[in-house]
Amino acid sequence: MERKKYECQICGRMVHEDHALVHVKADEYLIELIKKDHPQWQEKDKSCPKCIAYYRELVDKAEI
């Protein structure tokens, strides 16, 4: 059976369904950072783990 692919709404990469994150389980600051850089992004959109990790790292470095 072929696995479905989805486009990451942050970076545009194609990711397999099992690697796509449907909802970011993070605080509001992380979500605000993503929306600032990508206004079209919505929490319900699928995003790849690399993009979410990038924004989590930004939050961690900011020590907020």
pTM score of the predicted model: 0.60
pLDDT at residue number 63:
54
Q: Could you report the per-residue pLDDT of 4-43, keeping only the tens digit for each? A: 888 888 888 888 776 665 544 446 778 888 899 999 988 7
Q: How confident is the model at residue 58 (pLDDT cuts 50, 70, 90)?
A: confident
| Those residues with Cβ within 8 angstroms of residue 40's Cβ, 6 or more apart along the chain or in another chain | 9
Quote the pLDDT of residue 16: 78
Domain boundaries, the chain: 23-64
